[in-house]
């Protein structure tokens, strides 16, 4: 008897906003020790106001925003990932300026490190960030196809892996997560797989591969692991969430179930004309053009994931940053049916 699995959507948070309450192309998020969420907005090239950090919590309380576009201290140009140390310091990677910026949770600049290059301690597109239990910071140096490890003050410690397609090698990797048995899961975006490494840099295994089946991946951006060892992947190129068990067997997927968040509801309540027109619209449908083109499908059907960039657990909730829809979709863990 085969067991079926399912994953249920709990709610949606967020709103498209260049300033104030909301985000523009959020790429990643992190929690501080007080359960506040710091959502890293990427913005886009023609409107840099979106490059900032928005502070909120799981009840959708809005606490403010800080950070801005630019190349001066404390500013970002292509902010990509965010991590928070156990001392509640914020770390943001910038894949255009090739540096990591350290700030307080109030947004005050502390320091930064990094510059363009491929020597040790230099970056070419620093991306995913994660701390291990010893406060070592793992940085995905994606165009150099490697992981570099630093201490929390930005001092270089070591590195591992290199560019390539074989096992243990990386091709434009993106997200990274760490779990407490001291392993790392790295999203190998260019090789369409998740790779597990020890924190020492020893290759352990891969999950997923390129292909057209439901169990395959296309440019995965990020992954998260629950306490049972299930691996949750934000399958960016397919605009899906995919779940694998601890042996790497595919369990189930979800195409996204965005609903109206508190902030979205507030917007509609203030804009009655738009709310009315929306209530009469049919927002879910299927078109010929959707075949083999989930990007197009997501551009039409609002509730679906559109470029999910980051996935992580907070307590027992799964948070997926749904970047092109400027929101966060929250799910429960996978459950057996």
Partner 1 sequence: MKDKKDRSLVVVQLSGGNDAMNTIVPYNNGIYHDSRSAIHLTEKEIIDIDGSLGFHPEMGALKNLWDQNKVAVINGIGYPVPNRSHFRSMDIWHTAESESIAPDGWLGRTIREIDPNHNNVVTAVNFGRGLPRALVCKDVPVASVGDLETYGLMPDIKGKEQRQDVLNYFSRMYGPNQGRDAILEALGENGVSAMNGADILSGANSKYSSSIEYADNPISNNLKDIAKVIFADVGTKIYYAQHGSFDTHAGELFNHAKLWKDLSDALGDFFEDLKEHDRQDDVTVLLFSEFGRRIQDNGSGTDHGSGGVAFVLGGSVNGGFYGEQPSLEISEQVEGDMKYNNDFRSTYATLLDKWMGIDSVPILGKNYEQFNFINKGT
Partner 2 sequence: MSNKDIMLMAHLMRRVGFGSTKDELEEYIKNGYDNQVDIILDSEPNYEISKHLINRYQPDYGSPMGNSSNGASWLYKMIWSDSPFKEKISLFWHGIFATGYAKLANGIVLHDQIKMFSKFGLGNYKNLLIELSKDPAMIIWLDNCESHKGAVNENYGRELLELFSMGTGNYTEKDIKEASRAFTGWTIANKDYMTTKSQRDSVWPYGRLAMHFEYKEDDHDEDEKIFLGETGNFNGEEIIDIICKQKATAKFISRHMYSFFVEDEPPVPEWPYKEPNNPNAIELLSEVYFDTGYNIKEMLRFLFKSKFFKSEKVWNKRVKSPIELVAGTLRITKEFERPDKQQSSANSHTSFMGQHAMNPPSVEGWHWGTEWLDSGTVVERVNFSSSKLGDVNNSGIRKIINNVKSNISNQYSTELLIEKILEELGSIIVSKTTKDTLKDFVNSKINSEKSLNDDNLSELLQLIGAMPEYQRA
| Whether 148 contacts 159, CB under 8 Å | yes
- The site map against partner 1 for 239-278 (x = CB under 8 A) is ---------------------------xx--xxxx-----
**Separation CA 253–CA 13 (nearest Å):** 21
| Whether 301 contacts 284, CB under 8 Å | yes
| Burial status of residue 168 (CB atoms within 10 A of its CB: 0-12, 13-18, 19 or more) | middle
- The site map against partner 2 for 27-66 (x = CB under 8 A) is x--------------x-xxxx-------------------
Q: Which of partner 2, partner 1, none sits in contact with 184, Cβ below 5 to 8 A by type?
A: none
Q: Note every long-range contact of 274-281, with CB atoms under 8 Å and residues 24 or more positions apart, other chains counting.
A: none
| Whether 327 contacts 56, CB under 8 Å | no
Q: Which of partner 1, partner 2, none sits in contact with 243, Cβ below 5 to 8 A by type?
A: none
Using alpha carbons only, give the angle 135, 144, 104 rounded to the nearest 5 degrees.
35
- Give residues 99-138 in contact with partner 2 (rule: CB under 8 A): none
- Give residues 276-335 in contact with partner 2 (rule: CB under 8 A): 277-278, 280-283, 285, 287, 289, 295-296, 299-300, 302, 306-307, 323-327
Q: Which is nearer to partner 1, 64 or 229 (CB)?
A: 64
Q: Which is nearer to partner 1, 160 or 263 (CB)?
A: 263
In Å, how far are 85, 166, 259, 316 from 192, measured between CA atoms? 29, 12, 29, 27
Residue 19 binds partner 1 (CB under 8 A): yes
Q: Which is nearer to partner 2, 65 or 105 (CB)?
A: 65
Q: In the complex, what is the shortest distance from the CB of residue 301 to partner 2, in angstroms, rounded to a whole number?
A: 8
Q: Which is nearer to partner 1, 134 or 270 (CB)?
A: 270
| Whether 282 contacts 292, CB under 8 Å | no
**Separation CA 324–CA 16 (nearest Å):** 9
Residue 108 DSSP label: -
Residue 45 binds partner 1 (CB under 8 A): no
In Å, how far are 32, 58, 116, 150, 236 from 317, measured between CA atoms? 16, 10, 37, 29, 20
Residue 279 binds partner 1 (CB under 8 A): no
Which chain residues interact with partner 2 by CB under 8 A?
Answer: 15-16, 24-25, 27, 42, 44-47, 77-78, 95-96, 143, 172, 189, 219, 237, 258, 260-261, 263-264, 267-268, 271, 273-274, 277-278, 280-283, 285, 287, 289, 295-296, 299-300, 302, 306-307, 323-327
């Amino acid at each position: 008897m085969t067991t079926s699995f399912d994953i249920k959507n709990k709610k949606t948070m967020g709103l498209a906003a260049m300033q104030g309450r909301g985000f523009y192309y959020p790429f990643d998020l992190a929690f501080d020790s007080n359960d506040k969420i710091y959502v890293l907005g990427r913005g886009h090239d023609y409107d840099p106001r979106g490059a900032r950090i928005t502070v909120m919590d799981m009840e959708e309380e809005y606490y403010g925003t800080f950070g801005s576009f630019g190349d001066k201290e404390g500013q970002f140009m292509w902010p990509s990932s965010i991590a928070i140390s156990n001392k509640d310091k914020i770390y943001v990677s910038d894949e255009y300026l090739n540096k990591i910026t350290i700030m307080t949770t109030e947004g005050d600049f502390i320091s930064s490190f990094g510059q363009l290059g491929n020597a040790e301690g230099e970056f070419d597109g620093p991306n995913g960030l994660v701390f291990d239990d010893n406060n070592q910071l793992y940085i995905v140096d994606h165009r150099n196809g490697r992981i570099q490890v630093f201490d929390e003050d930005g001092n270089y410690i070591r590195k591992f892996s290199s560019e390539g397609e074989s096992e243990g090698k990386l091709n434009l990797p993106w997200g990274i997560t760490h779990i407490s048995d001291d392993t790392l899961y790295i999203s190998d975006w260019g090789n369409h797989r998740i790779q597990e490494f020890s924190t020492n840099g020893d290759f352990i295994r891969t999950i997923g591969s390129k292909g057209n089946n439901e169990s395959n991946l296309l440019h995965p951006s990020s992954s998260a692991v629950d306490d049972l060892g299930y691996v949750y992947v934000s399958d960016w190129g397919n605009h899906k969430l995919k779940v694998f068990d601890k042996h790497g067997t595919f369990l189930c997927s979800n195409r996204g179930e965005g609903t109206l968040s508190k902030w979205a509801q507030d917007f509609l309540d203030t804009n009655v004309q738009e709310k009315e027109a929306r209530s009469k619209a049919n927002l879910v449908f299927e078109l010929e053009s959707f075949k083999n083109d989930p990007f197009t499908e997501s551009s039409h059907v609002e509730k679906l994931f559109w470029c999910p960039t980051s996935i992580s657990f907070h307590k027992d909730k799964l948070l997926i940053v749904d970047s092109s829809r400027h929101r966060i979709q929250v799910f429960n863990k996978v459950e057996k049916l």
